[in-house]
């Protein structure tokens, strides 16, 4: 009997690919090119499943052109590249990779917060450029992290992980804003206090964004929100590009309206707003918050396991639409 055909739309770990090849006839994008929507649609012809990352858009037009498609497994916890209602309407199972990246991503959120507050990359560039000729009392003096007020916007699993690091590890005063309040037990465990978005922006020394991207969360932070923040505050975005208005942020950083920012995600990435590249008080990383070998492997494995589970047993392990 012939094996079901799937598309692996981006490069993945060889071990995981080998497992998929045991069960499926795999069309593999070994070159790791990012497909245009037309190429993606063409490569999906005849395929019942696909393993994607955030760079492949699954929308109504693509689903209409591929009525044989049954399941798309995203190797990411975020799934803003999926039109979920269109997938549900077309009877296509969508899956993501929750939980396996929570702590790793929270670690990185904290790394970016610390690098931003303590001006780690800015000072390293200065040293590498041979500009360090003497010690000075105010050289790269940054913002305190321990004991400071940490404001978290988006209090899902990753937000809670950042809250625990801040309150338990660094003695921070943690406030958060979220669509819904956490249970009193979880608030106590995270040592986090619910506040309005306005209060958070006005009082936090460090603001971390961990909110999923949607039409509602588009530009959660733009010029009006930046204007509410303290001039000494920092902003970290490990959520998604589009949560922050990058042009407005570049302006605020250039004008020292806020002290600094740390960004792992960008509007229109991998392109980065050119004005962000011009300001020194921003730490820029290429969407690597979940990038440890162990976690990326766990994400690939879970995406592959979702394809196998759905196509052989009719039930996904971590479904997005049930």
**Phi/psi of residue 124, each to 5°?**
-65, -40
**Between 223 and 291, whose beta carbon lies closer to ligand DGY?**
291
Is 206 a known active-site residue?
no
Q: Encoding tokens for residue 108?
A: 């990185």
User: What value, to the nearest 5°, has the Cα angle with vertex 62 and ends 300 and 10?
Assistant: 25
If binding means CB under 6 A, how many residues of this protein chain bind ligand DGY? Answer: 6
User: What value, to the nearest 5°, has the Cα angle with vertex 310 and ends 294 and 31?
Assistant: 55
Which of the ranges 25-33, 72-80, 181-189, 227-235 carries the binding residues for ligand DGY, by CB under 6 A?
Answer: 72-80
- Please say whether the beta carbons of 152 and 192 come within 8 A: yes
Q: Encoding tokens for residue 43?
A: 């490569």
**225 vs 59: CA distance, rounded Å:** 32
Is 216 a known active-site residue?
no
Q: Does 78 participate in binding ligand DGY (rule CB under 6 A)?
A: yes
Q: What is the nearest approach in angstroms of ligand DGY to the Cβ of residue 174? A: 23
Which residues 6+ apart lie within 8 Å of 154 measured at CB?
178, 209, 210, 211, 212, 239
**263 vs 279: CA distance, rounded Å:** 13
Is 273 a known active-site residue?
no
Residue 153 pairs in a beta bridge with 177, 209
Q: What is the nearest approach in angstroms of ligand DGY to the Cβ of residue 92? A: 19
Which of the ranges 74-82, 109-117, 168-176, 243-251 carries the binding residues for ligand DGY, by CB under 6 A?
Answer: 74-82
277-296 mask for ligand DGY (x: CB under 6 A)?
-------------x------
Q: Does 101 participate in binding ligand DGY (rule CB under 6 A)?
A: yes
- Please say whether the beta carbons of 69 and 47 come within 8 A: yes
Among residues 9, 40, 76, 320, the one that binds ligand DGY under rule CB under 6 A: 76
Site for ligand DGY in 17-46 (CB under 6 A): none
Q: What is the nearest approach in angstroms of ligand DGY to the Cβ of residue 76? A: 3
Q: Encoding tokens for residue 163?
A: 């809250």
Among residues 9, 51, 54, 252, the one that binds ligand DGY under rule CB under 6 A: 54
**Between 76 and 190, whose beta carbon lies closer to ligand DGY?**
76
**20 vs 14: CA distance, rounded Å:** 10
Q: Residue 38: count other Cβ atoms within 10 Å of its Cβ.
A: 11
Q: Which of 10, 177, 240, 273 is catalytic?
A: 240
Q: Does 318 participate in binding ligand DGY (rule CB under 6 A)?
A: no
List, by residue number, the catalytic residues: 240, 269, 287
Contact residues toward ligand DGY (CB under 6 A) are: 54, 76-78, 101, 290
């Amino acid at each position: 009997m012939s094996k079901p055909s799937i598309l692996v739309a981006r490069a993945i770990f060889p071990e995981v690919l080998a497992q998929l090849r045991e069960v499926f006839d795999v069309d593999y994008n070994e070159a790791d090119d990012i497909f245009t929507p037309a190429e993606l649609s063409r490569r999906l012809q005849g395929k019942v499943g696909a393993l994607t990352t955030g760079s492949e858009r699954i929308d109504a037009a693509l689903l209409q052109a591929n009525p044989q498609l049954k399941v798309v497994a995203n190797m990411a916890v975020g799934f803003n590249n999926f039109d979920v209602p269109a997938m549900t309407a077309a009877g296509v199972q969508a899956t993501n990779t929750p939980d396996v990246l929570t702590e790793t991503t929270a670690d990185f959120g904290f790394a970016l917060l610390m690098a931003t507050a303590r001006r780690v990359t800015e000072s390293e560039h200065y040293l590498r450029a041979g500009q360090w000729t003497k010690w000075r009392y105010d050289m790269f003096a940054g913002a305190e992290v321990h004991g400071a007020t940490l404001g978290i916007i988006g209090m899902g699993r990753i937000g809670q992980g950042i809250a625990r690091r801040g309150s338990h590890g660094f003695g921070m005063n943690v406030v958060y804003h979220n669509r819904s309040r956490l249970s009193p037990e979880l608030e106590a465990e995270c040592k986090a206090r619910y506040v309005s978005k306005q209060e958070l922006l006005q009082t936090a020394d460090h603001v971390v964004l961990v909110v999923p991207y949607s039409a509602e969360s588009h530009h959660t932070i733009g010029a009006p929100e930046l204007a509410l923040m303290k001039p000494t505050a920092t902003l970290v975005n490990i959520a998604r590009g589009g949560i922050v208005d990058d042009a407005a942020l570049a302006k605020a950083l250039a004008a020292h309206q806020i002290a600094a920012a740390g960004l792992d995600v960008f509007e229109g990435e991998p392109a980065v707003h050119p004005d962000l590249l011009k300001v020194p008080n921003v730490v820029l990383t290429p969407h690597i918050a979940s990038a440890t070998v162990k976690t990326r492997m766990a994400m690939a494995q879970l995406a592959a396991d979702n394809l196998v589970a759905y196509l052989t047993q009719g039930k996904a392990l971590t479904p997005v639409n049930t």
